Amino acid sequence: MPSSAPLVLRGQRFDAGRPAVMAIVNRTPDSFFSGNRLADLDAAKRAVETDLEAGADIIDVGGVRAGQQGEPVGPAEEIKRVVPFLEWARAAHPEVILSLDTWRSEVAREAGAVGLDLVNDTWAAADPDLVHVAAALGAGYVVSHTGGLPPRTDPVDVSYGDDPLDVVRDVITTLGTGAGVAELSGIPRERILVDPTLDFGKTTANSLEVLRHTAEVVALGYPVLQAVSRKDFVGEALDLPAEERLEGSLAATAVAAWLGAIAFRAHDVRATRRVLDMVATIRGDRAPRLALRGVRRPPAEKPG
Protein backbone atom coordinates (compact mmCIF):
# COMPACT_ATOMS: atom_id res chain seq x y z
CA MET A 1 0.00 0.00 0.00
CA PRO A 2 1.49 3.40 -0.95
CA SER A 3 2.82 5.55 1.88
CA SER A 4 4.19 9.06 1.58
CA ALA A 5 7.66 9.87 2.82
CA PRO A 6 7.47 11.34 6.34
CA LEU A 7 7.16 15.06 6.93
CA VAL A 8 9.19 16.64 9.73
CA LEU A 9 8.48 20.20 10.85
CA ARG A 10 9.32 21.88 14.17
CA GLY A 11 10.52 18.56 15.56
CA GLN A 12 7.21 16.85 14.81
CA ARG A 13 6.99 13.85 12.48
CA PHE A 14 3.96 13.06 10.34
CA ASP A 15 3.56 9.80 8.45
CA ALA A 16 0.94 7.25 7.41
CA GLY A 17 0.06 6.55 11.03
CA ARG A 18 -0.08 10.21 11.96
CA PRO A 19 -1.31 12.31 9.01
CA ALA A 20 -1.16 16.10 9.32
CA VAL A 21 -4.13 18.46 9.16
CA MET A 22 -3.27 21.93 7.89
CA ALA A 23 -5.94 24.39 9.04
CA ILE A 24 -6.74 27.22 6.63
CA VAL A 25 -6.82 30.74 8.09
CA ASN A 26 -7.58 33.24 5.34
CA ARG A 27 -6.98 36.80 6.54
CA THR A 28 -9.14 38.06 3.71
CA PRO A 29 -12.66 39.47 3.35
CA ASP A 30 -13.27 37.65 0.06
CA SER A 31 -12.30 33.99 0.44
CA PHE A 32 -14.28 31.77 -1.95
CA PHE A 33 -15.71 29.97 1.11
CA SER A 34 -17.65 32.36 3.30
CA GLY A 35 -16.93 30.28 6.40
CA ASN A 36 -13.25 31.19 6.19
CA ARG A 37 -13.34 34.95 5.68
CA LEU A 38 -11.24 35.97 8.65
CA ALA A 39 -10.24 39.56 7.96
CA ASP A 40 -11.41 40.45 11.47
CA LEU A 41 -8.50 39.91 13.85
CA ASP A 42 -10.53 38.55 16.76
CA ALA A 43 -12.39 36.13 14.49
CA ALA A 44 -9.08 34.87 13.11
CA LYS A 45 -7.70 34.34 16.61
CA ARG A 46 -10.82 32.41 17.62
CA ALA A 47 -10.49 30.27 14.49
CA VAL A 48 -6.93 29.28 15.45
CA GLU A 49 -8.01 28.29 18.95
CA THR A 50 -10.92 26.29 17.57
CA ASP A 51 -8.79 24.59 14.93
CA LEU A 52 -6.11 23.56 17.41
CA GLU A 53 -8.71 22.17 19.79
CA ALA A 54 -10.23 20.25 16.86
CA GLY A 55 -6.95 18.56 16.00
CA ALA A 56 -5.04 20.85 13.61
CA ASP A 57 -1.31 20.22 13.36
CA ILE A 58 -0.38 23.15 11.09
CA ILE A 59 -1.88 26.64 10.85
CA ASP A 60 -1.66 27.96 7.27
CA VAL A 61 -2.13 31.74 7.11
CA GLY A 62 -2.85 33.56 3.86
CA GLY A 63 -3.57 37.18 3.02
CA VAL A 64 -4.68 37.04 -0.62
CA ARG A 65 -7.54 35.18 -2.28
CA ALA A 66 -6.19 32.66 -4.78
CA GLY A 67 -8.58 33.41 -7.64
CA GLN A 68 -8.84 36.48 -9.83
CA GLN A 69 -12.30 37.39 -8.52
CA GLY A 70 -10.90 38.80 -5.29
CA GLU A 71 -9.76 42.34 -4.69
CA PRO A 72 -6.23 43.43 -5.69
CA VAL A 73 -3.74 43.01 -2.84
CA GLY A 74 -0.20 44.38 -3.05
CA PRO A 75 2.79 43.15 -1.02
CA ALA A 76 2.45 45.86 1.65
CA GLU A 77 -1.19 45.02 2.29
CA GLU A 78 -0.45 41.29 2.32
CA ILE A 79 2.29 41.84 4.90
CA LYS A 80 -0.09 43.92 7.01
CA ARG A 81 -2.66 41.13 6.97
CA VAL A 82 -0.41 38.21 7.81
CA VAL A 83 2.71 39.26 9.73
CA PRO A 84 1.15 40.71 12.91
CA PHE A 85 -1.20 37.74 13.01
CA LEU A 86 1.66 35.28 12.71
CA GLU A 87 3.46 37.15 15.51
CA TRP A 88 0.38 36.71 17.71
CA ALA A 89 0.07 33.02 16.82
CA ARG A 90 3.73 32.35 17.63
CA ALA A 91 3.47 34.14 20.99
CA ALA A 92 0.19 32.46 21.90
CA HIS A 93 1.24 28.98 20.75
CA PRO A 94 5.04 28.62 20.70
CA GLU A 95 4.82 24.94 19.80
CA VAL A 96 2.44 25.22 16.83
CA ILE A 97 3.64 24.69 13.26
CA LEU A 98 3.09 27.95 11.36
CA SER A 99 2.77 28.06 7.58
CA LEU A 100 2.58 31.11 5.33
CA ASP A 101 0.51 30.88 2.14
CA THR A 102 2.16 33.31 -0.29
CA TRP A 103 3.86 33.44 -3.67
CA ARG A 104 5.90 36.58 -2.81
CA SER A 105 9.43 36.31 -1.47
CA GLU A 106 9.27 39.74 0.18
CA VAL A 107 6.26 38.67 2.24
CA ALA A 108 7.98 35.47 3.39
CA ARG A 109 11.15 37.41 4.21
CA GLU A 110 9.16 39.89 6.31
CA ALA A 111 7.36 37.06 8.11
CA GLY A 112 10.54 35.10 8.76
CA ALA A 113 11.24 36.72 12.10
CA VAL A 114 8.23 34.99 13.67
CA GLY A 115 9.85 31.59 13.17
CA LEU A 116 8.03 30.28 10.11
CA ASP A 117 8.00 26.50 9.79
CA LEU A 118 6.64 26.24 6.26
CA VAL A 119 6.27 28.41 3.15
CA ASN A 120 3.24 27.30 1.14
CA ASP A 121 4.04 28.45 -2.40
CA THR A 122 0.69 27.76 -4.08
CA TRP A 123 1.75 29.39 -7.37
CA ALA A 124 4.59 27.08 -8.41
CA ALA A 125 7.62 29.34 -8.02
CA ALA A 126 6.10 32.32 -9.83
CA ASP A 127 8.64 34.19 -7.70
CA PRO A 128 11.77 32.04 -8.14
CA ASP A 129 13.43 33.61 -5.09
CA LEU A 130 10.77 32.32 -2.71
CA VAL A 131 12.30 28.87 -2.33
CA HIS A 132 15.66 30.45 -1.47
CA VAL A 133 14.01 32.64 1.17
CA ALA A 134 12.38 29.55 2.68
CA ALA A 135 15.76 27.82 2.77
CA ALA A 136 17.43 30.82 4.40
CA LEU A 137 14.72 30.88 7.07
CA GLY A 138 15.14 27.17 7.79
CA ALA A 139 11.52 26.62 6.81
CA GLY A 140 9.93 23.82 4.83
CA TYR A 141 8.53 24.48 1.39
CA VAL A 142 5.47 23.41 -0.60
CA VAL A 143 6.07 22.65 -4.28
CA SER A 144 2.89 23.12 -6.30
CA HIS A 145 1.57 22.59 -9.84
CA THR A 146 -0.44 25.28 -11.62
CA GLY A 147 -0.01 24.35 -15.26
CA GLY A 148 2.22 27.36 -15.82
CA LEU A 149 -0.40 29.94 -14.87
CA PRO A 150 0.69 33.15 -13.11
CA PRO A 151 -0.72 34.01 -9.66
CA ARG A 152 -4.40 34.71 -9.26
CA THR A 153 -5.50 33.48 -12.68
CA ASP A 154 -8.27 30.98 -13.29
CA PRO A 155 -7.84 28.23 -15.91
CA VAL A 156 -9.34 28.83 -19.37
CA ASP A 157 -9.22 26.40 -22.33
CA VAL A 158 -6.92 24.08 -20.38
CA SER A 159 -5.37 21.21 -22.31
CA TYR A 160 -2.50 18.88 -21.42
CA GLY A 161 -2.96 16.66 -24.47
CA ASP A 162 -5.37 14.11 -25.88
CA ASP A 163 -4.57 11.40 -23.33
CA PRO A 164 -6.34 11.96 -19.97
CA LEU A 165 -3.13 10.84 -18.25
CA ASP A 166 -1.13 13.68 -19.80
CA VAL A 167 -2.09 15.95 -16.91
CA VAL A 168 -0.79 13.35 -14.44
CA ARG A 169 2.51 13.18 -16.30
CA ASP A 170 2.79 16.97 -16.26
CA VAL A 171 2.09 17.06 -12.52
CA ILE A 172 4.70 14.39 -11.78
CA THR A 173 7.36 16.08 -13.91
CA THR A 174 6.70 19.56 -12.52
CA LEU A 175 6.61 18.46 -8.89
CA GLY A 176 9.74 16.36 -9.26
CA THR A 177 11.63 19.25 -10.83
CA GLY A 178 10.42 21.74 -8.21
CA ALA A 179 11.32 19.42 -5.35
CA GLY A 180 14.78 18.99 -6.83
CA VAL A 181 15.24 22.77 -6.93
CA ALA A 182 14.14 22.99 -3.29
CA GLU A 183 16.71 20.36 -2.29
CA LEU A 184 19.46 22.13 -4.18
CA SER A 185 18.45 25.31 -2.33
CA GLY A 186 19.26 23.57 0.94
CA ILE A 187 15.86 22.38 2.15
CA PRO A 188 15.93 18.78 3.49
CA ARG A 189 13.66 16.25 1.76
CA GLU A 190 11.59 15.73 4.91
CA ARG A 191 10.64 19.43 4.82
CA ILE A 192 9.62 19.51 1.14
CA LEU A 193 5.92 18.90 0.51
CA VAL A 194 4.68 18.23 -3.01
CA ASP A 195 1.12 19.34 -3.76
CA PRO A 196 -0.70 18.38 -7.00
CA THR A 197 -2.71 21.59 -6.41
CA LEU A 198 -6.11 20.45 -7.66
CA ASP A 199 -8.23 23.12 -9.44
CA PHE A 200 -5.18 25.33 -10.14
CA GLY A 201 -4.53 25.26 -13.89
CA LYS A 202 -6.87 22.29 -14.21
CA THR A 203 -10.36 21.39 -15.32
CA THR A 204 -12.55 19.32 -13.04
CA ALA A 205 -11.72 16.26 -15.17
CA ASN A 206 -8.01 17.02 -14.76
CA SER A 207 -8.29 17.32 -10.98
CA LEU A 208 -10.22 14.08 -10.66
CA GLU A 209 -7.65 12.27 -12.82
CA VAL A 210 -4.78 13.58 -10.71
CA LEU A 211 -6.59 12.65 -7.49
CA ARG A 212 -7.02 9.07 -8.75
CA HIS A 213 -3.26 8.95 -9.30
CA THR A 214 -2.18 10.28 -5.90
CA ALA A 215 -0.08 7.12 -5.46
CA GLU A 216 2.09 8.20 -8.40
CA VAL A 217 2.75 11.53 -6.67
CA VAL A 218 3.63 9.60 -3.52
CA ALA A 219 6.12 7.57 -5.56
CA LEU A 220 8.23 10.72 -6.07
CA GLY A 221 9.54 10.10 -2.56
CA TYR A 222 8.54 13.36 -0.87
CA PRO A 223 5.79 14.06 1.68
CA VAL A 224 2.54 14.64 -0.23
CA LEU A 225 0.04 17.41 0.52
CA GLN A 226 -3.49 17.32 -0.86
CA ALA A 227 -5.58 20.50 -0.75
CA VAL A 228 -9.08 19.37 -1.70
CA SER A 229 -11.24 21.22 0.80
CA ARG A 230 -14.45 22.61 -0.77
CA LYS A 231 -12.73 23.17 -4.12
CA ASP A 232 -14.53 23.64 -7.43
CA PHE A 233 -13.80 20.12 -8.69
CA VAL A 234 -15.81 18.86 -5.70
CA GLY A 235 -18.55 21.40 -6.36
CA GLU A 236 -18.80 20.56 -10.06
CA ALA A 237 -18.72 16.81 -9.40
CA LEU A 238 -21.78 17.20 -7.18
CA ASP A 239 -23.23 20.48 -8.55
CA LEU A 240 -22.99 22.14 -5.14
CA PRO A 241 -21.84 25.58 -3.88
CA ALA A 242 -18.82 25.91 -1.59
CA GLU A 243 -21.00 25.96 1.53
CA GLU A 244 -22.36 22.46 0.71
CA ARG A 245 -19.15 20.66 -0.29
CA LEU A 246 -18.12 19.15 3.05
CA GLU A 247 -19.11 15.54 2.31
CA GLY A 248 -17.53 15.62 -1.13
CA SER A 249 -14.34 17.08 0.31
CA LEU A 250 -14.17 14.37 2.95
CA ALA A 251 -14.68 11.65 0.33
CA ALA A 252 -11.80 13.08 -1.73
CA THR A 253 -9.71 13.31 1.45
CA ALA A 254 -10.34 9.65 2.26
CA VAL A 255 -9.34 8.54 -1.25
CA ALA A 256 -6.14 10.61 -1.21
CA ALA A 257 -5.23 9.33 2.25
CA TRP A 258 -5.83 5.72 1.21
CA LEU A 259 -3.50 6.32 -1.75
CA GLY A 260 -0.73 7.59 0.51
CA ALA A 261 -0.96 11.36 0.98
CA ILE A 262 -0.15 12.41 4.56
CA ALA A 263 -0.93 16.14 4.79
CA PHE A 264 -4.27 17.78 4.09
CA ARG A 265 -5.16 21.46 3.89
CA ALA A 266 -8.68 21.83 5.25
CA HIS A 267 -11.39 24.27 6.26
CA ASP A 268 -13.20 21.67 8.38
CA VAL A 269 -10.55 20.50 10.80
CA ARG A 270 -12.44 18.21 13.16
CA ALA A 271 -14.17 16.26 10.39
CA THR A 272 -10.93 15.98 8.40
CA ARG A 273 -8.99 14.81 11.48
CA ARG A 274 -11.52 12.04 12.11
CA VAL A 275 -11.56 10.91 8.49
CA LEU A 276 -7.76 10.74 8.35
CA ASP A 277 -7.52 8.83 11.61
CA MET A 278 -10.14 6.37 10.41
CA VAL A 279 -8.42 5.82 7.06
CA ALA A 280 -5.07 5.33 8.80
CA THR A 281 -6.68 2.76 11.08
CA ILE A 282 -8.32 0.89 8.19
CA ARG A 283 -4.98 0.84 6.36
CA GLY A 284 -3.38 -0.65 9.46
CA ASP A 285 -1.05 2.30 10.06
CA ARG A 286 -2.76 3.37 13.28
CA ALA A 287 -4.14 1.26 16.14
CA PRO A 288 -7.77 1.77 17.21
CA ARG A 289 -8.15 3.96 20.28
CA LEU A 290 -10.20 1.17 21.85
CA ALA A 291 -10.32 -2.57 21.09
CA LEU A 292 -12.95 -3.92 23.48
CA ARG A 293 -15.69 -5.38 21.31
CA GLY A 294 -15.77 -9.17 21.50
CA VAL A 295 -12.87 -9.31 23.94
CA ARG A 296 -13.36 -11.36 27.09
CA ARG A 297 -12.81 -9.19 30.15
CA PRO A 298 -12.22 -10.46 33.70
CA PRO A 299 -15.24 -10.14 35.99
CA ALA A 300 -15.30 -7.14 38.27
CA GLU A 301 -14.04 -7.83 41.76
CA LYS A 302 -16.73 -8.11 44.41
CA PRO A 303 -16.53 -5.45 47.08
CA GLY A 304 -15.01 -6.29 50.46
**pLDDT attached to residue 296:** 86
What residue ranges do the domains of the chain occupy?
Answer: 7-283
Give Cβ neighbours of residue 127 (< 8 Å, ≥ 6 apart).
103, 104, 105, 121
Q: Coil, helix or strand for 293?
A: coil
**pLDDT attached to residue 304:** 62
Give me the helix-helix angle, 204-212 and 246-258, nearest 10°: 40
Question: Counting every residue, how long is the chain?
Answer: 304
CATH number of 7-283: 3.20.20.20
Neighbours of 129 (CB within 10 A): 14
The per-residue pLDDT for range 217-269, each reduced to its tens digit, is 999 999 999 999 999 999 999 999 999 999 999 999 999 999 999 999 999 99
Q: Coil, helix or strand for 58?
A: strand
Residue numbers of the chain with a pLDDT score lower than 70: 303-304
Residues with a known catalytic role? 231, 265
CA–CA gap between residue 148 and residue 201 (Å, rounded): 7
